[in-house]
């Protein structure tokens, strides 16, 4: 029986599973669709409930993964298909053309400085721009640039080539093509995480209509010292420091018309973001509009109490019906119904508002079709076995992190270690 394992998804869950298996002596191939491993945790400023720096925890793990003798990274790569059954899978991986010879690129950034094309920066949630040749974020692993073919003038129009001219290492290669490789593997781990729902599909929440309505991930980037505002908390319309912020929970979550499930992390990260806002702008008044406060983890309720007592965060039990531009076109007018018998309607103006959208496992559908795995009604992988809660419906393929069900970082790490142990048990021929 082989001892090679393919892990799909290079967020914190996939990274942890790869490290655990690599340490046990398995040969691990970690497949990540973007140019760097790290997943959403790389975008976070701090993490609840301790408010530790997210990158300070994640970055060493990313580097350990890249340097591990038993782990091979396939970044900017996707799962093409899986054939066969446990323990003899044949896994096809498409390594997309970066148009860069990664063995030569030093990550110096000379090419980035000279590239004339600017496009919205997805890592910064489109709050600023990146170049057509880019490093997704400063601590990216691997530290190799990628040319975004759809925006590069040379690739689309045969004009430019500036990056090739300035690259002293000779790393730019416009003739590079996608490569499909095939690996024999005993087991596969799926850790493909989540995407944020498109909140513009719910116009009542004002996203794209009010300039000062942002998503929680945009707010996370605004708070971050390496983010688009250099960590200065400002609102988009006029770059002014907000004095009042409204956080709107359950935007699309626990809504039978969109996502009936609870996204699980929003009550806590909104509390975290409100505390961080107070640390950035002393005296700021944050209000969290919530359906139910779900603070069920270790130290979570204490975190909420700290937000209230030490940072003056106000919690309002209500589901706002409408967000509109404020009186002068900036800011946000939040209309909500007071909880209770009378159902009185209230309208309050805030300097900005932060939406906490449903988090959806968008990659799961494509993967379930390619791997013949079943999904539950919410789109998460079906894990029917109570005795082995990370086993999918296909033997030898296990799931962890947000792709399995909504969960925070500590739970994703715990589950990742659990799938590593489960895979080791399966391969060793233990109880299945
Ligand atoms: C605004 C916000 C703030 C948060 N703050 C906190 C916090 O303070 N503390 C906390 O504990 N949790 C927090 N969370 C939750 C946290 O982001 C998740 O728990 C964590 O990221 C889950 O990790 P994951 O590896 O399962 O998924 P992800 O981080 O989503 O990683 C999945 C990876 O898989 C890759 N991938 C997807 N599809 C494919 C494919 N087909 N092929 C190859 N690769 C693929 C993705 O590119 C990504 O790199 C927050 C969430 C949000 C939205
Ligand atoms: S492609 Fe060349 S110029 Fe660009 S970062 Fe790599 S080594 Fe530097
Ligand atoms: S060739 Fe493409 S990536 Fe290179 S500098 Fe020109 S537009 Fe940018």
Residues 350 and 368 in one domain: no
Is residue 132 situated within a structural domain? yes
pLDDT band at 401 (very low <50, low <70, confident <90, very high): very high
Last residue of a domain, one of 327, 358, 389: 358
Rounded Cα distance, 48 and 54, in Å: 9
Taking the CA of residue 107 as reference, the ligand 2 atom at the shortest distance is 5
Res 430: pLDDT: 67
Last residue of a domain, one of 319, 343, 358: 358
CA of 98 to the centre of ligand 2 (A): 12
Dihedral through CA 208, CA 212, CA 213, CA 215, nearest 10? 100
| Ligand 1 within 6 A of CB of 361 | no
Nearest CA to ligand 3 atom 4: 163
Res 188: pLDDT: 98
Residues 273 and 243 in one domain: yes
Residues 207 and 344 in one domain: yes
pLDDT band at 275 (very low <50, low <70, confident <90, very high): very high
Residues 354 and 229 in one domain: yes
Average pLDDT, the chain: 96
Residues 351 and 220 in one domain: yes
Find the CATH number of the domain harbouring 250.
3.50.50.60
CA of 378 to the centre of ligand 3 (A): 41
Report how many domains make up the chain: 3
Average pLDDT over residues 416-429: 96
Read off the pLDDT of residues 220-243 as tens digits, 9 standing for 90 and up. 999 999 999 999 999 999 999 999
Contact (Cβ atoms closer than 8 angstroms) between residue 391 and residue 398: yes
CA of 418 to the centre of ligand 3 (A): 44
Last residue of a domain, one of 358, 384, 413: 358
Contact (Cβ atoms closer than 8 angstroms) between residue 163 and residue 328: no
Of 18, 47, 22, 6, give the one whose Cα is nearest residue 271. Answer: 47
Residues 209 and 328 in one domain: yes
Is residue 247 situated within a structural domain? yes
Side-chain half-sphere exposure of 317, counting CA atoms within 13 A = 6
pLDDT band at 143 (very low <50, low <70, confident <90, very high): very high
Q: Is the pTM of this model over 0.85?
A: yes
| Ligand 3 within 6 A of CB of 115 | yes
Residues 352 and 214 in one domain: yes
Is residue 173 situated within a structural domain? no
Answer yes or no: is pLDDT of 431 > 90. no
Residues 380 and 268 in one domain: no
Is residue 102 situated within a structural domain? no
Cα distance between the two ends of the chain: 15
Res 208: pLDDT: 97
Residues 272 and 332 in one domain: yes
Residues 270 and 210 in one domain: yes
Q: What angle do CA 63, 230, 280 make, to 5 degrees?
A: 105
Read off the pLDDT of residues 294-337 as tens digits, 9 standing for 90 and up. 999 999 999 999 999 999 999 999 989 999 999 989 999 999 99
Which of 151, 153, 158, 166 for a ligand 3 pocket mutation test, highest count of atoms within 8 Å of Cβ? 153
Res 432: pLDDT: 53
Is residue 104 situated within a structural domain? no
Read off the pLDDT of residues 341-394 as tens digits, 9 standing for 90 and up. 777 899 999 999 999 999 999 999 999 999 999 999 999 999 998 889 999 999
Taking the CA of residue 31 as reference, the ligand 1 atom at the shortest distance is 43
Rounded Cα distance, 244 and 140, in Å: 34
Is residue 273 situated within a structural domain? yes
Rounded Cα distance, 368 and 87, in Å: 19
Residues 137 and 22 in one domain: no
| Ligand 3 within 6 A of CB of 299 | no
Furthest-apart CA pair in the chain: how many Å? 72
Of 406, 250, 408, 221, give the one whose Cα is nearest residue 316. Answer: 250
Domain extent at residue 150 = 110-166
Rounded Cα distance, 235 and 401, in Å: 32
Res 371: pLDDT: 92
Residues 331 and 250 in one domain: yes
Is residue 10 situated within a structural domain? yes
Answer yes or no: is pLDDT of 261 > 60. yes
Answer yes or no: is pLDDT of 1 > 70. no
Of 405, 413, 217, 249, give the one whose Cα is nearest residue 315. Answer: 249
> Residues 198, 141, 408, 391: is their CA dihedral positive or negative?
positive
| Cβ-count burial 92-131 (b if 16+ within 10 Å, e if not) | ebbbbbbbbeeeebeeeeebbeebebeeebebbbebeebb
Is residue 326 situated within a structural domain? yes
Which H or E run includes 8? strand 4-8
Read off the pLDDT of residues 172-186 as tens digits, 9 standing for 90 and up. 999 999 999 999 999
């Amino acid at each position: 029986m082989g001892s090679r394992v393919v892990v799909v998804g290079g967020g914190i869950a996939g990274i942890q599973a790869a490290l655990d298996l690599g340490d046990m002596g398995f040969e691990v191939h970690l497949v990540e669709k973007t140019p760097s491993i790290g997943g959403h945790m790389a975008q976070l400023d701090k993490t609840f409930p301790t408010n530790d720096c997210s990158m300070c925890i994640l970055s060493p793990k990313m580097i350990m993964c890249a340097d591990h003798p038993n782990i091979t990274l396939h970044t900017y790569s996707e799962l093409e298909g899986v054939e066969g059954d446990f323990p003899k899978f044949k896994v096809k991986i498409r390594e997309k053309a970066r148009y860069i010879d990664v063995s030569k690129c030093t990550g110096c950034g000379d090419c980035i400085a000279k590239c004339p094309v600017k496009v919205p920066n997805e890592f910064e949630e489109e709050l600023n721009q990146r170049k057509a040749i880019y490093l997704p974020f400063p601590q990216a692993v691997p530290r190799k640039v990628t040319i975004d073919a759809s925006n590069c003038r040379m690739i689309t129009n045969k004009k430019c080539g500036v990056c090739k001219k300035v690259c002293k290492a000779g790393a730019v290669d416009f003739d590079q093509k996608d490569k499909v490789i095939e690996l024999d593997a005993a087991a596969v781990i799926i850790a493909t995480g989540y995407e944020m729902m498109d909140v513009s599909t719910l116009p009542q929440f004002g996203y794209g209509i009010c300039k000062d309505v942002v998503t929680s991930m945009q707010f996370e980037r605004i708070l971050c010292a390496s983010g688009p505002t250099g960590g200065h908390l400002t609102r988009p319309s006029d770059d002014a420091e907000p004095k009042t912020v409204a956080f709107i929970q359950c935007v699309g979550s626990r809504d039978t018309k969109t996502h009936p499930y609870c996204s699980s992390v929003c009550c806590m990260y909104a509390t975290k973001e409100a505390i961080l806002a107070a640390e950035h702008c002393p005296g700021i008044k944050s209000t969290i509009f919530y359906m139910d406060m779900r603070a069920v983890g270790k130290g979570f309720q204490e975190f909420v109490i700290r937000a209230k007592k030490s940072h003056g965060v106000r919690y309002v039990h209500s589901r706002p019906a409408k967000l509109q531009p404020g009186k002068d076109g900036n800011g946000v007018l939040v209309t909500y119904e007071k909880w209770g018998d009378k159902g009185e309607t209230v309208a309050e103006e805030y300097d900005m508002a932060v939406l906490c959208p449903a988090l959806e496992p968008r990659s799961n559908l494509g993967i379930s079709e390619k791997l013949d795995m079943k999904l539950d009604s919410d789109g998460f992988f079906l894990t029917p076995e109570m005795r082995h809660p990370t086993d999918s419906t296909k033997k030898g393929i296990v799931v962890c992190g947000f792709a399995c069900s909504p969960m925070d970082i500590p739970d994703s790490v715990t589950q990742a270690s659990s799938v590593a142990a489960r895979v080791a048990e399966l391969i060793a021929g233990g109880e299945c």
